[in-house]
């Protein structure tokens, strides 16, 4: 049985590196390969196969940063097995629950009582704190800090370095389905479904 990393971009190559370091992967899979509709291998010493060469016994790691793209691939590969890949440096509380097909990169954290849906992706140093509820196909870019008692709808994308203020048990902070949070944003109130929240960009002053 092979671990098939779907995607040849930066996320795919990072996921393959993560997999090759993982003792759990080494103990379970006979081989790690890439899969894509385009591109030739080897890449970083790994074979590149076409999607029609993915066997029934293989497990697929969807290593694409876009939740929408991951959703399309799940529909495309209906009935196939999707691997959950967790870096050896990641921290996951024993009381947390994570759905199928998750990718947790190095130094990411999922804390006590968090419940996370399918095909979740947490990049480097991303944190999900206690008692959060997160839907399917959610993406946390590097160094996202999601504090406790936050509810995040499916398909949400949160950019690098964004901070989500904590809610409470009685009143969680809510980010609606399909919302986009820009990098560096500080979210202190609910975000409506489908909306976009951005932080002011840093600008170079004239004469500086």
pLDDT band at 23, cuts 50/70/90? confident
Model confidence pLDDT, tens digit, residues 74-133: 999 998 999 999 999 999 999 999 999 999 999 999 999 999 999 999 999 999 999 999
The pLDDT value given to residue 41: 80
Q: What number is the average pLDDT over the span 164-187?
A: 97
Q: Is 28 helix (H, G, I), strand (E, B) or coil?
A: helix
CB atoms within 10 A of CB 89: 14
Model confidence pLDDT, tens digit, residues 127-164: 999 999 999 999 999 999 999 999 999 999 999 999 99
Q: Which two tokens stand for residue 113?
A: 């009582």
Q: Is 22 helix (H, G, I), strand (E, B) or coil?
A: coil
Query: Which residue out of 80, 130, 133, 165 is catalytically annotated?
Result: 130
The pLDDT value given to residue 40: 85
Pairwise CA distance, residues 51 & 40, whole Å:
13
Q: Is 119 a catalytic residue?
A: no
What domains can you pick out in the chain, each with its CATH number? 2-83 (3.40.50.20), 85-199 (2.160.10.10)
Q: 79 φ, ψ to 5°?
A: 90, -10
pLDDT band at 26, cuts 50/70/90? confident
Model confidence pLDDT, tens digit, residues 43-64: 999 999 999 999 989 999 999 9
């Amino acid at each position: 049985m092979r671990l098939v990393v779907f995607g040849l971009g930066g996320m795919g190559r990072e996921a393959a590196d993560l997999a090759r370091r993982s003792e759990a992967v080494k103990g379970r899979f006979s081989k790690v390969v890439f899969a894509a509709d385009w591109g030739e291998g080897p890449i970083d010493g790994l074979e590149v196969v076409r999607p029609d060469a993915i066997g029934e016994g293989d497990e697929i790691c969807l290593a694409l940063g876009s939740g929408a793209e991951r959703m399309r691939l799940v529909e495309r590969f209906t009935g196939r097995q999707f691997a959950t890949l967790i870096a050896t440096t990641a921290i996951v509380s024993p009381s947390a629950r994570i759905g199928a097909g998750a990718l947790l990169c190095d130094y990411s954290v999922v804390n006590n009582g968090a419940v996370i849906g399918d095909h979740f992706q947490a990049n480097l140093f991303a944190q999900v704190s206690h008692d959060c509820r997160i839907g399917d196909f959610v993406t946390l870019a590097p160094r996202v800090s999601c504090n406790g008692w936050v509810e995040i709808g499916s398909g949400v994308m949160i950019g690098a370095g964004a901070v989500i203020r904590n809610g409470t048990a009685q009143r969680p902070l809510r980010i609606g389905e399909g919302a986009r949070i820009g990098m560096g944003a500080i979210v202190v109130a609910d975000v409506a479904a489908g909306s976009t929240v951005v932080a002011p960009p840093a600008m170079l002053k004239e004469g500086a």
